[in-house]
Every structure is written in structure tokens, then in C-alpha cells.
Amino acid sequence: MGLNKFTVDFQNIGEQQFLRPNFGYRYFFDIQNAEIYPTKDSIKLKYVLNEMPMKKVSKGELEESEILIDIGNIERRFNNLINLVEVDRIGSDKNIMQYGDIIIPKLQPQMGNIFLNSGHKRFIGSTELLEYKINENYNPIFIYYLITSNKFLFDLAKLESGKAHRRVNSVDLLKIRIPLISKESQDLIVAQIWPIEKKINELKKQIEQPQNVINKVFAREFGFDLEKYEKLKKDKFSEVDLKDILRHNFVRISFHFHHKTLIAIENKLKNKNYWAPVNSLFSLFGGKRIPKGKSFSNIETDYYYLRPTEVSIWGIDKINVPFIPVSIYDQLKRYKIVTDEFCISIVGTLGKTALINTDILDIGKDNLILSENFIKLKPKKHINSLFYIYFFYSFIFEAQINREYTITSIKKLGIDKWNNIKIPCISIIKQQKIVDEIKGELDKQEKFYKKIEMERDKIDEIIEKVIIRE
């Protein structure tokens, strides 16, 4: 692995607001001159985007229902919101977003979870989300596609700081220089983008969400009423008999613990012919936080640190898995995760699951460390791994973890709560039948996603060609 070197003038470091001597940060500002594209004329984003003051909503009961938005509700590199919910109460303080034109997260913005709010709809959302007004001399569509281009996001990652939760400071974001392009040229670019956007939207209409596919099959095979479950999820009130509260080892009076959705599944989970505790099939282990005062490596190494951010139903996004130096690996190597082991997120966004295969990831077999936001499940015997991946993304598992979590400022699903979670114990033949049906449908869906990504990349090409000409 080659070693990249360059010389930094201490004066450059001293002129900036933050003391940041790390490689990527210094390279971006000192070698690239904060430019995404090397062009004759450029302009800082602070003259394009104006950060809006944020008003907060305090945790607890809300005066009126609000639409809640989190980073996970924003499609990456697609100007679209998914799986939004309306809430009457919140477990932590949120920001009100309504008057900005574009929403950009502080937390790992290089993932591309950015969206336009040109209609100024009202949302409440994570304090990681910031809203900006776009200068009237700039076409919002052009700005959106420019800052969600692969080139922009790749360079944006160089500005990250932090350990477990990598962020880009808004001060640094606004120092980025983008090509200075006339409004007329921006409008011409957008005109070329419209047909591609239309094709992407047509492809999206043909897609069924993977979890919907999984849920339909599991509901049918195990005799659950999925329609009833989805209806009960929307209920905002629940009556609970006092004896039902007292029958548990610990007094749990939280709304989610006694939510009506459990009625749709709880009785069936008592059937020992089909359901068993998760620890009957898996050994459970925790992950580990990066040691205090330490951070990720700014250069490539052979060692990686897996976080929930890089995990989705489609697998692991290796490109964004951070490197760690060998010194940190030596401290954390007992928390490695290896091929055929599962990890499930247990902090913040619960239930993001991955099955590890280090050969596919092209990572050394012992070189992947698991963050503290995961629990590791190690099978005690040979299993149909794909069957359990699908189960962990099903509504049956979702209902159970939504019952068991605790919350202070953020949701957490402690390892002790896993004793109450049930998993299917059916024959391998039945498992394979379910896998074949789900996989066949998901393979069709994945083809649509690949076509959509190809179309999205065409937008990057259009922008780059115009920039080069300018």
C-alpha cells in the first residue's frame, strides 16, 4: 500500500478556526484549495447557502401531531423522503424545519442523505439536520445534484471529524468552493436532468420495498394478520390492565412496551413448536467503542470499523466503512466479527442487520471490528443464514425489538433484553422454501435499483461536462 505525502505550512493551519492536522482535511484545504472541481472561477458555498436559525421542540408530548424526519428517512442521492411517520410525542429534542430550501445533515453528510424542501413543508427532525436557504441566483435542482454528486461527497468525507459519530462542521461545509456557473447554464443543466429524473421515477414505481416483500411471506407462512398489525401500528393510545404491567419481572410502563401491535403477534410467539428464544440458536456478544482520545485512520489500513450507518437490507456499504490504525485494532481485536456471524444495530436506529462475509468485502478474515452500537450473533450450529437475515428484517422481529428497547435521549436495546426475543425454529426445508420465494422477488427489485443508480450517475456526468466546458 503506497504512502501519500505532502507538505503543510503551519500558517495554513493557524489561519483556520479549528486545529485539524489530519491528512484528508489538510489535503482538501492546502492541496485542493477547498475546490471540488478545479475551475477558473469558483465560489464558496457560504455565498450560495445561508444557514437558517433552528427552533427546537422539547422532548415529551407535542401540542399537535408533527411529521418526524430522521437521516434514515432521506434517500441517499435521491431527492426523496421515505417511511415518514406522524408523532404525538418525541423522546428527545428536535429541530423545526420549514423555511429552508435544502436540508443537509451534520452527521456523515458524505452519505448523500440530503433533500430539497422547496415547498417549505413543516417537519420536526434530528438535531443533526440543518436547513439552508439557497441564494436566488442559483437553481436549487442544480445545487442539489452538484452537492450529491459522487465527486462532491467523496471530498466531503475528508472534512469529517469525530470517532464513532463522524460529522462535518457547517463552518467547514460553507468553505467548500464550487464552480461559478451562470444561472442560464444551471438552468440548461437542469433541463437535461429532467428526462433522467422522469425515468428514475418510472423505475421507482416498479419497486416494492424489500421489507414489504419479506413481511407478506412471513405473515402468510406463520399465520399472522399483517393488515391488522399495520393498522395497530398507527394507534396512538393503548389501554393496559394493571395485572399485565405487574406480570413482568421489571415494571415497564412505557407506551411502546404495551403497544397494541403486540396483540397481533404475542400469542403466536408462545407456541414452542415454532418459536424459541434467540439465545437458543445464537451466542450473543457486544461491540466496542473507539477508545477515548483515539480516532479512525485518515489513510488506508488493513483494519476496518463497522457502524450501523454502513448497513442496510442490501448488505454493507464497504466504501464508507472507516479504517482504523493497527494500534486501535490491537486494543479492539477481541470485538472482531467474522464470516457467517450476524450484527444487529441496538442503538438509535434499531434492527439494521448484516450477515458478514469478509471474502466478499475483501477484508482480512479477522480484520473487521464491530462498533458498540451493534450486538453480534454467533450461530451455535449450522443454519440457513439468509432465512434469519430475512427474519431480522420482518415485522415479527420489528415488533419485538420495539417492545423491548429503553430510551433516555436515544433508543437502546440492551443485551439483557434479548432473552425475551423469539425467533422461528422450523425445519431447514421450510426455511429454504421461504428463502427461495423472498430471494427471487428481491433479486428482481435489485435489478431496478441498479438501473436507477446508473441513471443517477448520468446526472453526475452531465454536471461534470458542463463544468469542464465552463
Q: CA distances (Å), 369 to each of 192, 311, 386, in order?
A: 44, 14, 22
Instruction: Tell me what the mean pLDDT of segment 107-113 comes to.
Output: 84
Give the other-Cβ count within 10 Å of 153's Cβ: 20
The confidence band for 93, taking pLDDT boundaries of 50, 70 and 90, is confident
Cell representation of residue 148: 450529491
| Residues 371 and 272: beta-carbon distance below 8 Å | no
Give the other-Cβ count within 10 Å of 201's Cβ: 12
Residue pLDDT, tens place only, 123-158: 998 888 999 999 999 999 999 999 999 999 999 988
| Residues 343 and 356: beta-carbon distance below 8 Å | yes
| Residues 108 and 74: beta-carbon distance below 8 Å | no
Residue 1 pLDDT: 43
Residue 256 pLDDT: 45
- pLDDT above 90 coverage of the chain, percent: 50
| Residues 270 and 263: beta-carbon distance below 8 Å | no
How far is residue 80's CA from residue 239's CA, in Å, rounded to a whole number?
36
Residue pLDDT, tens place only, 249-275: 554 445 444 455 676 677 888 888 899
Residue 439 pLDDT: 94
Strands 368-370 and 304-306: parallel
Give the chain's domains with CATH numbers.
Answer: 1-180 (3.90.220.20), 210-435 (3.90.220.20)
CA 343 to centroid of chain Cα atoms:
15
Q: What is the mean pLDDT of the chain?
A: 86
Instruction: Tell me what the mean pLDDT of segment 312-316 comes to.
Output: 87
SS3 188: helix
Question: pTM higher than 0.85, yes or no?
Answer: no
Which helix H or strand E contains 205, and what residues bound it?
Answer: helix 183-205
| Residues 404 and 417: beta-carbon distance below 8 Å | yes
